[in-house]
Amino acid sequence: MKSSLDKVNSFKEAMANYPTGVTVVTTIDEKDNPIGLTVNSFASVSLDPLLILWSIDKRVSTYESFLKVDKFAVNILADNQADIAALFASRNTDRFANCKWNLSANHLPIIHGAAATLQCNVFKRIEAGDHTIFIGEISEITVEKKSPLVYHGRKMGALPSSFHEN
Tell me whether the omega of the peptide bond preceding residue 160 falls within 30 degrees of 0, making it cis: no
Number of neighbouring beta carbons within 10 Å of residue 157: 13
* Confidence grade of residue 22 (pLDDT, cut at 50, 70, 90): very high
Q: Is the pLDDT of residue 122 over 60?
A: yes
> Does position 75 have pLDDT exceeding 60, yes or no?
yes
Q: Model-level pTM?
A: 0.91
% of the chain exceeding 90 in pLDDT: 75
- Note the pLDDT of residue 11: 81
Q: How far is Cα 28 from Cα 69, in angstroms, rounded to an integer?
A: 8
- Kindly report the CATH number that applies to the domain delimited by 20-158: 2.30.110.10
Three-class HEC string of 24-84: EEEEECCCCCEEEEEECCEEEEEECCEEEEEEEECCCCCHHHHHHCCEEEEEECECCCHHH
Q: 101: Cβ–Cβ under 8 A, 6 or more apart, which residues?
A: 26, 34, 109, 110, 111, 112
CA distance 77 to 30: 26
pLDDT-derived band at 152 (thresholds 50, 70, 90) equals confident
pLDDT of res. 24: 98
User: Domain segments of the chain: what residues?
Assistant: 20-158
Residue 92 has pLDDT above 80, yes or no: no
Of 91 and 117, which is predicted with more confidence? 117
Lowest model confidence (mean pLDDT) among 45-59, 93-107, 150-164 = 150-164
User: How confident is the model over 73-79, as a mean pLDDT?
Assistant: 97
Q: What is the pLDDT of residue 5?
A: 78
